[in-house]
Homo-oligomer: A and B are copies of this chain.
Amino acid sequence: MTNFAIMGFGTVGSGVAEVLRMNGASIAEKLGEPLNLKYILDVRDLSGTPYGKIAVQDFSVLENDPELDVVVESIGGAKVALEFTRRALLAGKHVVTSNKELVAAHGRELLAIAEEKNVNYLFEASVGGGIPVLRPLFQCLAGNRIEEIAGILNGTTNYILTRMVQGGVPFDEALREAQAKGYAEANPAADVEGLDAGRKICILSDLAWGREVRPEAISVQGISGLDLRDVDIARRAGWRIKLLGRALRLGDGRVAAYVAPHLVAESCPIASVDDVFNAILIRGNAVGEVMFYGRGAGDLPTASAVMGDVLDALAHRAKRRNLGWREPAELARTDRDLVMRWYLRGDFQAPAGSEALSGGAVLTAPLTGAEAQDLAVRLGARALLPVFG
C-alpha cells in the first residue's frame, strides 16, 4: 500500500480524489499496489463530508507520518503552499502540484531541496492543465535544441477572445459571460492581465533552456485593453487575435519571453484553438514544430495531470527525476532584441513594406518593438500588436 495526501481541497484537490475514485483499480494495477488517500489537509471543516474521516487541519500530521509517500499540493498561491511544500520535501515526501504561481516563483529553490533529499517535485499540471506538455518537452524532445515555444496558455482569456471574434461581443461583456460560466474568477486580473500566462511561459522557458526566467522580469500584456475594432479588422483580413505566451532562443543564446495579444494567421494550427482550450507549439531544431492541444483547466483534466505525476514520482522513488534549472541569465529585451512583424490600426496610408487592411496595416518587414512604436507614433496609429506565424 502506498499512501498519499491532498493539501487544499478546492477544484483541483477534489478532482484528484474523484480521479482516484473513478480509476483506482487501474491505477493500482499500474502501480502494483493500491494507492491510498490517507489525508486531506484543508482549513475548512470536512467532517460532514464523505472525506471527514481522513480530513486533518494540522500539517505536522503529514510531515511526521513516515508512511506517507506523496503529497499533492493544490492550495494555490505562494505563501502557505510554499511553506508546506518546503517542509514536505525536507521531510522526504515527493510533492506534486498544479500551482503555477509557486513553481514560477520558487521552483528553482524547491527543486534544489528535492534534489538534496532525493525526492521528486513534479508539476505537469501547472502548465496546460491536463495536456501533457512539460514531460514531452524535457523528456521526449531532449535530443533537440529548443528554438521557440508559443502557446495559448490561459483558457479564460481564450474564451473571452473567442466570444469577441466569433460573437462580436465587447471585452467587458465577454468577461461577464466568462464569470457567469465559472471560467473567470470574481477578480479576473491574473487571467485577463496576462499574469497567469506569464507564469506558465516562465515555467516552459525554465525547462526548455535550464535557466530560470523570473515572472517579474518579463513583459506581460493582457487583453483588457483590446479593442473590438482590431478584432474585426484582423478577422476580415484572415487573422485571429490570440493571447500568446512566447519564448525564444536568440542567436546569441539569450532567451526572450513575453505575453501579448498577437495576430495569428488563420492557417496556423493555433489559430483555430477556441473557447477554453489551450495549445502549445514547440519548435526544436530536429523535430520541427509539434503542438499539444486540450483542456487547459478544469477539475478532472488538471487532476489527470496530477495523478500522472503521482504515479511517475512513485516510479522514480529510488532514483529521482533529474529535473531543475539554474539561476537566471540575462534576458533579451523584447522591445529591442526581438524582431517581429506588426499590425497597426489607423486611417493612415499603409506604409511601404506593409499589407494594407481595411482600417489598418500589417507590416511585411519585421521591426523591433521600439521601431514599431516609433512608426506607430509617426503614423498616428491607434493600436499596435505583434504578428505571429
Contacts and interface: CB of A to CB of B under 8 A. Distances in A.
Interface of A: 15, 19, 22-23, 26-27, 29-30, 124, 130-132, 135-136, 139-145, 210, 269, 272-273, 284-295, 298, 300-301, 303-308, 310-312, 315, 318-319, 322
Nearest to A321: B315
Contact of A308 (B29, B141, B291, B319): B141
A27 B306 CA distance: 28
Contacts of A143: 19, 23, 27, 303-304, 306-308, 310-311
Contacts of A141: 132, 304, 308
Nearest to A303: B286
For this chain, the copies found in one complex come to 2
Contacts of A310: 143
Nearest to A266: B272
6 contacts: A15-B286, A19-B286, A22-B285, A29-B210, A132-B132, A272-B272
A141 B312 CA distance: 11
Given A27-B142, A286-B300, A319-B319, A293 B293 contact: yes
A370 B370 CA distance: 65
A308 B284 CA distance: 12
Contacts of A287: 130-131, 294-295, 300-301, 304-305
A365 to B, nearest CB: 28
Most chain B beta-carbon contacts within 10 A, residue among A210, A290, A305: A290
A127 to B, nearest CB: 12
A27 B285 CA distance: 13
A304 B318 contact: no
5 A-B pairs closest in CB distance: A143-B307, A132-B140, A290-B294, A132-B136, A286-B304
Contacts of A294: 287-291
A134 B354 CA distance: 44
B145 A22 contact: yes
Nearest to A128: B290
A293 B307 CA distance: 24
Nearest to A27: B143
Nearest to A140: B132
A23 to B, nearest CB: 5
